[in-house]
Amino acid sequence: MLFDANRKVATKGARSTCPLCGKECIAKCGDIVKHHWAHRVDEDCDPWAERGQDISTWHRDWQEQVPQELREVVIGPHRADIVTAGAYPKIVELQHSNLAPSEIRERELFYRYPQNAHGMWWVFDATSAYNNGRLDVYGKTIVQFCWKRPRLSILSCQRPVFLDIGIALLNVLRVDLDESRLVGIAQVFTRQAMLDRITGKASGDFDDTLSCNEKGSRVSNDADDTIEWSYVERD
What residue ranges bind Zn ion (CB under 5 A)? 18, 20-21, 45
Q: Tell me the closest approach of the beta carbon of residue 4 to Zn ion, in angstroms.
A: 10
CB closer to Zn ion out of 18 and 168: 18
Nearer to Zn ion, 17 or 156 (CB): 17
Instruction: Please report how close the Cβ of residue 160 comes to Zn ion at its closest, in angstroms.
Output: 30
Least distance in angstroms from the C-beta of 78 to Zn ion:
11
Q: C-beta of 45: minimal distance to Zn ion in Å?
A: 3
Q: Which is nearer to Zn ion, 45 or 198 (CB)?
A: 45
Distance CA 16, CA 29 (A): 14
Whose Cβ is closer to Zn ion: residue 32's or residue 41's?
41
- 3-class state of residue 106 by DSSP: helix
Q: Which is nearer to Zn ion, 17 or 116 (CB)?
A: 17
The Cα–Cα gap between 182 and 180 comes to: 7
Distances (CA, A) of 118 to 26, 27, 123: 33, 33, 17
Query: In whole angstroms, what is the distance from residue 179 CA to residue 83 CA?
Result: 36
Least CB distance from residue 37 to Zn ion, whole Å?
9
78 vs 99: CA distance, rounded Å: 16
List all residues 6 or more positions away from 139 whose beta carbon is below 8 Å from its beta carbon.
185, 229, 231
Beta pairing, strands 120-125 & 91-95 = parallel
Helix locations, the chain, DSSP H? 53-64, 101-110, 127-131, 191-199, 206-209
Q: Which is nearer to Zn ion, 23 or 149 (CB)?
A: 23
Q: How far is the CB of 38 from Zn ion (least distance, A)?
A: 10
Measured distance CA(147)–CA(135) in Å, rounded:
4
Residue placing its CB nearer to Zn ion in the complex, 45 or 129: 45
Q: Provide, rounded to whole angstroms, the least separation between the CB of residue 3 and Zn ion.
A: 12
What number of other Cβ atoms are within 10 A of residue 234's Cβ?
9
